[in-house]
Amino acid sequence: MTTPISKIIRNKLREFSTCSMAFTVGLVLMLNLLSSCEQFIEVDLPNSQLTTEAVFTEKATAEAALLAIYAQMRDRGILRDLYYEMGLYTDELEFYGSSTSSKEAFHKNNLIPSHPTVSSWWNTTYTQIYGANALLKGLEESALDEAFKKQLTGEALFIRGLNQFYLTVLYGAVPYVTSTDYQQNTVLSKIPIQEVFKKVEADLTQAIALLDWEYSTADRTRANKGVALAALARVSLYTGDWQQAVDATTAIINHSDLYEWETDLNKVFLKESRSTLWQFSHRGAGVNTPEAISFIFNTAPPPTVALTPNLVSSFQDADQRLVHWIQEVSDGSQSYYHPFKYKTRGNTSSSVEYSILFRMAEVYLIRSEAYARLDQLELASLDLNIVRGRAGLADVEYSTKEELLEQILIERRHELFTEAGQRFFDLKRSNRLDAVLEPLKAGWKPTNQLLPLPENELIINPNLAPQNPGYQSGN
């Protein structure tokens, strides 16, 4: 009986060590990712040998390598954590946990270059990018059939582009890594933010061309053409390419056979919702979202976090999201509020909710804003009113383009709160971080618009210097 690939991988990994920025020799890092994924298919390798060529000889092992990257994105890193840390970093969440918790630094906006999350996000994200690059290289040299290679290549490009996008929004100028040469990767220099965005757009555009509309999995946990289009539309809000944003979102909205507008607020975040474009599956059957575990509490005061009074009071009384997506908990003298988008805390017989990364409400809001920027105000208001109408609100009233844009940003705040750091990104791209957060947060400084670069990475790779403004080495 031959040895399954999972065991071979684990044995082989013991023979290697990793280096800085999570870049490793050859394909070892990608296989480390693979060995962490519990859902890949156990396939015997020829002669029980673990080689790059063997991984890309069989469809099952090549696909397993891709699934492993998705598993890493689900379990750790920027995309996994943004809903919590960046909610604390802005004006969405109040922190009630221990003063020794690493989360408090996000709430007080006093991060330092040696903060563990600052380093973890950097390293895990570049790990996932490296895995995507190794996958791209292996597929390019593989003899697997072209349709299969096309699908996996598109997904790998999507993963690389999306991760690089988040790195640069959070850290500023960063290296754009496309190589699997670890020696080259560990001495890369930063490139300007706008250059990163151009490369992100190039990756996503290529992914769109390669991917089909049909999902590879029924639960929408892998990227398809619609997901890559949504990512490109999100990036377009930063680059100011409003027509690109309109074109990408319109292509998604017109695919009504695949994506439907969910009118019931209580069904939006169910894992079967057809308004979902992309979501993370969970580690096992019956597991539900970490968002529900992080946010839901039943006794006051809150054990860790609660919604800020500023956010809760900003909703109109008629807004049904106050009823369905926010829950009040009182100790008899004071009320606290927690997000209640995800309603299932803990395990169930089968999973009820998955963590959603892209959904139709954001698609409509992106197109609404892009239309407004292009002075097509009537079209912009129509899209905005779709989102408002589900919340029980009347059609938007506005007299000028500026008033409509303000209403769109307000609607984004109320529709997308505590989702993937959307509030931080909206305030940043609209140049409102300082104006909004300085009056609310005693620790806020203009230099907090960027996170510090990890101190250990600056030591190992001097080409990453200088440190971002406002942060001192040695902390």
Percent of the chain predicted with pLDDT > 70: 88
E strands, 157-238, where? none
* 10 has a pLDDT exceeding 90: no
Return the pLDDT at 383.
98
- CA triplet 44, 49, 50: central angle to 5 degrees? 90
Q: What are phi and psi of 433, to 5 degrees?
A: -55, -50
For 320-378, the DSSP string reads THHHHSEEEEE-SS-EEEEE-SS---S--SS----EEEEEHHHHHHHHHHHHHHTT-HH
Q: What is the pLDDT of residue 42?
A: 36
Question: Rounded to whole angstroms, how far apart are CA atoms 201 and 206?
Answer: 8
Evaluate whether 96 touches 305 at the Cβ level (below 8 Å). Answer: yes
Q: Cα separation of 89 and 92, whole Å?
A: 8
**70, 73, 54, 66: which is closest to 5 by C-alpha?**
54
Q: What is the pLDDT of residue 52?
A: 64
Contact 77, 125 (CB under 8 A): yes
Give the CB-side neighbour count of residue 105, counting CA atoms within 13 A: 16
Beta partners for residue 305, in sequence order: 95
4 strand-pairing partners: 44
Residue 124 burial by CB count (10 A; 0-12/13-18/19+): exposed, middle or buried? Answer: buried
Q: Is the whole-model pTM more than 0.85?
A: yes
pLDDT tens digits along 280-293: 998 889 999 999 99
| Residues in CB range of 145: below 8 A, 6 or more apart | none
pLDDT > 90? residue 55: no
Q: Is residue 169 within 8 Å of 141, Cβ to Cβ? A: no
How far is residue 204's CA from residue 156's CA, in Å, rounded to a whole number? 10
Is the predicted pLDDT of residue 239 greater than 50, yes or no?
Answer: yes
How far is Cα 388 from Cα 394, in angstroms, rounded to an integer? 7
The neighbour count for residue 466, using CB atoms within 10 Å, is 11
Cβ(228)–Cβ(158) below 8 Å: yes
pLDDT at 32: 52
- Which residue in the block uniquely carries the two structure tokens 């480390």? 32
| Amino acid at residue number 180 | T
Task: Tell me the DSSP string of 82-129.
Answer: HHHHHHHHTTSEEE-S-TTSTTHHHHHT---TT-HHHHHHHHHHHHHH
Average pLDDT of 61-69?
94
Q: Computed from CA positions of residues 162, 167, 169, 174, in that sequence, does the dihedral angle turn out positive or negative?
A: negative
Cross-strand pairs, 356: 279
Tens digits of per-residue pLDDT, 67-116? Answer: 999 999 999 989 999 999 999 999 999 999 999 999 999 999 999 999 99
Average pLDDT of span 56-69: 94
**At residue 12, does pLDDT exceed 90?**
no
Q: What is the pLDDT of residue 475?
A: 56
The answer, yes or no, to whether residue 425 has pLDDT greater than 80, is yes
For residues 237-251, average pLDDT? 98
In order of their start, the domains of the chain are 1-211+427-458 (1.25.40.390), 285-355 (no CATH)
For 429-451, write each residue's pLDDT tens digit. 999 999 999 999 999 999 999 99
